[in-house]
Amino acid sequence: MRARHAPDDSAARLHGGTPGRTLRRDFVTDSNGAAAGSLGVLSAGAAALARAADLDQALAVIVEAGAAATGASMAAVFALDPDRNALELLLTLGIAEDTIEAFEADVVGNPDHPIHHAALDRSGTLGRTGQTPDGTPMTGADLPLVVSGGGEVEVGVGVLSFGWPGEHTVGADEETVLVAVADMVAAAVTLFRTSSMAAERSEWLERVALTDALTGLANGRTVSRVLELEVARAGRSGVEVSVAVFDVDGFREINRTSGSRAGDHVLRQVASVLAESVRLVDTIGRTGGDEFILVAPGGAGATVARRVLDGIAKLGEFDGNTVSVSAGVARFPVDGESPEGLIEAARAAVAGASAPASIVEVTPRA
């Protein structure tokens, strides 16, 4: 993920070189008051943290403001990926497009690279000398991104690197700005990473609440809710809704002779065929044991059920068992006027199936 890349003819890779002085990471007070550049950084950082739509935008705003305030012509942000325990390039500014890939590989793949090292030891340097790809001297500043991990524990989340062409001396006022920019970048990375994790967690919880863990289909709760809505809609519009209940033939025997793992495998196979056989407007879910329920708007429930049975027939044998399902089909309003009534009618129909791989309609069409 790269927040922004601003091509520039004089842009350069940030090479390693002579170390500069160690960065001060304490709280620094500017006795002369905040300069205009510092106010610009503060304003941009506050706006980015409060209103940026995503991490890309926040980093671009903060880093560009920092570069403008310090006169830096290039910058890069790397974040520590906690899952892979590796650096990830998030942003480049003023670094030529054709050098970015090599620059990233050089930093990420070399723990001794000054930028990589700054991320790991959380000390940082100012006034590091190096060279651009064409041999032009440059000065770099590598600022570790550090946040509180609770109590007195500090956690490194990445590194921010600025570069200036030729020789450049980082004074005390400029150091104050650089540290502030690094802190805001660290805050942005942490804020948006936490938000992303929270969103992923929420999505996972929602998925768990709505789906069956074994098959990935909708669960009974979801099927019931969809059926309620479809029955209400059909009642208002005067149309039909079909409900088909599928049972795996001889499932108890499969579990008894081949074990629960074999039974789970069969359920997943059946679920896969069901998912591939239904229409986009249909809802299919596992409601317990070997029971699956289809909610099909309109009167095509038997047609969809036949497609399912044809697909199941192609599965063949598993562990000596022929996999097949039977279906009971009920229609609103002729076979039931409530969701519960429709499901019970369809269950009774499939329970009365006289042979495996059968489809039993509660009220066959004329």
Domain 21-208 sits in which CATH superfamily? GAF domain (3.30.450.40)
Flag the least confident range among 48-52, 121-125, 148-152: 148-152
In this predicted structure, the answer to whether residue 170 has a pLDDT above a threshold of 50 is yes
> Closest Cα partner for 54 from 152, 245, 193, 215?
193
In this predicted structure, the answer to whether residue 46 has a pLDDT above a threshold of 90 is no
**Residues with Cβ within 8 Å of residue 288, at least 6 apart in sequence:** 220
In this predicted structure, the answer to whether residue 23 has a pLDDT above a threshold of 60 is no
Residue 107 burial (CB count, 10 A) = 25
Q: What is the CA radius of gyration of the chain?
A: 32
CB 177 within 8 A of CB 187: no
Angle, in degrees to the nearest 10, between helices 114-121 and 97-108: 50
pLDDT band for 1, please (50, 70, 90 cuts).
very low
In the predicted model, what is the mean pLDDT of residues 262-284? Answer: 94
Question: Rounded CA gap, 227 and 52, in Å?
Answer: 41
The 3-state secondary structure of 137-201, one letter per residue: EEEEEEEEEEEECCCCCEEEEEEEEEEEECCCCCCHHHHHHHHHHHHHHHHHHHHHHHHHHHHHH
pLDDT tens-digit series, residues 325-365: 999 999 999 999 999 999 999 999 999 998 999 999 999 87
- Per-domain boundaries in the chain: 21-208, 220-361
What's the whole-model pTM score? 0.52
pLDDT at 136: 80
Question: Rounded CA gap, 12 and 219, in Å?
Answer: 55
Q: Cα 4 to the chain's mean position, in Å?
A: 21
Question: Rounded CA gap, 104 and 217, in Å?
Answer: 42
Angle, in degrees to the nearest 10, between helices 36-51 and 55-70: 180
Decide if domain 220-361 falls under CATH 3.30.70.270: yes
Tell me which DSSP letter residue 218 carries.
B
